[in-house]
Each structure stands twice: as structure tokens, then as C-alpha cells.
Amino acid sequence: METSKERTIVVLGASYGGFRAAQILAESLPPEWTLIVLERNSHMNHVYVFPRCALMAEYAPRAFIPYDNLFPALSPERCRAVLIHATVLGMTSHSVRFQRHGASETEKMDFTYAIYALGSGMPGPVNIWTSDHGLGNGSTGTKRHGITWMEQQSQMFVNARDVLIVGGGALGIQFATDLKELFPHKDVTLLHSRYRLLPKYPVAVHDMCVKRMADMGILTVFGQRVHTWPVNKPGRKKVQTETGAVYEADIVLCCTGQKPQIAILAAMSPLSINQETGRIAVLPTLQLASPRGQLLSHIFAVGDCADTGAIQAGNTAYRQAEVAAKNILGLVKGLQTGDVPELQNYHPGKPMIKLSLGIKTLMNATGEKIEVTENGKEDLDALSMW
């Protein structure tokens, strides 16, 4: 695929952050520019409803959203915008190498600006990908594959007598409360290495979650870090903690967090990674904080992979993408006028979370404000994203 480096912008990833960045760029880039979006999934994965769909697979189709609304209607006044279903394999400071879905050969594309929005790898209980770089079997990355995966997960939970959930973050709490409400006869245990749930939020969030799980009959165990994980074979699963305690269940769900997908950029510029956080070092403008001897300010990073100090969430990536895209538009205008643009800075907002505590129970927390309602939908309002 031939494009001009001088007039090409590449967005790597089209989830919450990449999707929003692509929308803004497609609406405002001059017609002589080309916008390329590389995304390994055929449909946008609305991952926040994945835990619910893994239990209630009838809603799984709603978690995979067509990319029909990614670009505005084509017109002569707008740039050429293309979405490519492909896996990113590598990059240099001004090029990206990728492989289209179903193809055997790889392709290389030059760019002037890039937005790195590859996010985080999903934890095992909601990870529909099975390989590090997305090169799974022929259907991986498609809606059909995702729905089939959800159906298999759902049946697995139906067959289990008891479930052990390791990790007391949002994912673990949602799985625990959904499971207990759908299958009240099953024993559900939540094992957490710390003594407080969701510590970035007010302690009242912890208290409400603990009370809700106690009322539902969920056993919560705090201060126990897993030392030995179960082997991957049929039969009962056992974990042993650092204190020597042993817990056993038919299913063990590892909900201990996500890993930012930085490998592509780290291979190109190892010094661009903050070794303490494992995320990409960025300026307030979301441009890469260029290491000595490298000029990488034409590359931006947003979402879970960017080290901004903000919480890792879809709404965070969305807001960061707006800043990055508008800054690129400013730089493009500067190329035309010769002016040096004044770029926007990203400022993290208050931590926000929308957490399900059962099929109908929802907790919303913004800063110190906490609200619990009983009007949640079974599909977690997934269709509102379409």
C-alpha cells in the first residue's frame, strides 16, 4: 500500500482512545492528507461488558460494535480515511509494519504523525485473544470468534460447582457479584492481596462493595497474595498463597490487572518506557518524551499504555485522544502556515468508576460523590455504544 510519508497519519488501535482520535482527525484533516487506522479486531470490542457477556452469552453480540460510524461521510473537503483490519508487528520512528487479517505477507507504511493507542492486554477471564501479538487462528479478532468464546465461557460457569476469583479490582468484583446473583447456589470466593478494594476511590466505595458481597453470601479474603497458581489441566484447581493457605475451586479466575501493550514501541525506543510504571513516557501534550538523541515528538500515546498518572479507563483514553488528535491538527496547520502552534496539555480529571454489583445494582463514583442505583440493565446498556 503506497502512501506519502509527508501527508499520512497513522492511528494504531481503534478502541476507546484510537476510535475517538480517528473520528476527530477524519473530520478536520485537509483533503491532501491520508488517515490510516490499524486495528486487529473486525469490530470494536466494548470490553466493559465482557464480564457480563461471559456469563450471559445471549448479550455477547452487543459487545462487538461495527466500525460503521468511525469516519464521517466522505466529501471532497475531507481527507482520505481508511480502516485496515490488521495486526501491528513493528514500527520505526516514521514507519509501521503490519499484517492484514487473513494475509500471509506483511506491509510497511510511512507516516508523518502517529497515535499509539494499543491499550492493554485483557486479563484471562475476558481475553478473547490467545497470543501475544494477536496472530491467533483465522477467526481470532472477528465478531464470530468473540461470540463463540463468550458462549463457551458461559457454559463453563454453568457447569462449575464453585468459583475462586483472585483480584479485587473492578473486574473481580463484577464477576463475583454477577456470578452469585445468577447462581446463588454456587460458592463464590474473592481473594485479594491487599486489605482495601479500589484504593484510588473513597473508602466508602470499599465499604459498600464489601457489604454488598457479604449480603450476597460471597466469601471475601483479604491480605492473601497467590504464590502458586493451578496447572492448566482438567479437574479441581488449587492456589496457594504466600502464607501457605490453600484455596480450591472448579474455576479459578485471575483478575489481577492488565498489562499495557507497549512492546511495539519499546522495541523501537526502549528509553521511551518508564521502567517504574511499564508505560510510555509522555509530555503533557501526550507527545512521546523523546530520549536524548531521538526526536519522537511526532508520535503521541494515549490510553492505558500512556504514563499520564490518570486511571486506566475507557473514558480516560477518550479524553486523551481528543487532546492528541487536536494537537496533531494544530501541527498539520502549522506545516501549512509556517506558524508554531500552541499545543494543548492533558489534565487528568477526578477518578471515575461505574461498577456493577450484580445484575441490576450499579455504583457510580466520581471524586467523593458515590451513588448506588438498582436500575441497571442486563446488557449493561451495551447498545448505547452503537
Q: Mean pLDDT throughout 180-184? A: 98
Residue 104: per-residue pLDDT: 93
More confident: 74 or 160: 160
> Does 135 score more than 50 pLDDT?
no
Q: Which residues pair with 304 in a beta bridge?
A: none
d(CA 250, CA 157): 9
d(CA 285, CA 209): 36
Residues 161-173 pLDDT 10s: 999 999 999 999 9
- Closest to 129 in 3D by CA, of 47, 193, 242: 47
Residue 6: per-residue pLDDT: 64
Backbone angles phi, psi at 311, to 5 degrees: -70, 155
Residue 291: per-residue pLDDT: 77
> Does 132 score more than 60 pLDDT?
no
Q: Mean pLDDT throughout 77-86? A: 93
Residues 87-112 pLDDT 10s: 999 999 999 999 999 999 999 999 99
> Does 347 score more than 80 pLDDT?
yes
- Residue 206 region, left (φ>0) first, then alpha (ψ -120 to 50), else beta? alpha
Give the number of other Cβ atoms within 10 Å of residue 101's Cβ.
18
Collect all residues with Cβ–Cβ distance below 8 Å to 164 and sequence separation of at least 6. Answer: 189, 191, 237, 239, 247, 248, 249, 251, 252, 253
> Does 158 score more than 90 pLDDT?
yes
Residue 278: per-residue pLDDT: 95
- Closest to 385 in 3D by CA, of 63, 53, 17, 32: 63
Collect all residues with Cβ–Cβ distance below 8 Å to 151 and sequence separation of at least 6. Answer: 57, 60
pTM as predicted:
0.93
Residue 293: per-residue pLDDT: 65
Q: Which of 279-293, 310-324, 370-384 has the lowest mean pLDDT?
A: 279-293
> Does 134 score more than 60 pLDDT?
no
Residue 122: per-residue pLDDT: 86
Residue 3: per-residue pLDDT: 46
Residue 66: per-residue pLDDT: 96
> Does 133 score more than 50 pLDDT?
no
> Does 249 score more than 90 pLDDT?
yes
Residue 1: per-residue pLDDT: 46
Q: Mean pLDDT throughout 29-56? A: 96
Residue 131: per-residue pLDDT: 43
> Does 136 score more than 80 pLDDT?
no
Residue 130: per-residue pLDDT: 59
Nine-digit cell string for 114: 502517529
Residue 72: per-residue pLDDT: 80
39 within 8 A of 13, measured Cβ to Cβ: yes
Q: Mean pLDDT throughout 336-361? A: 94
Q: Hey, what domains does the chain have and what are their CATH numbers? A: 5-122+258-337 (3.50.50.60), 124-257+351-385 (3.50.50.60)
More confident: 133 or 323: 323
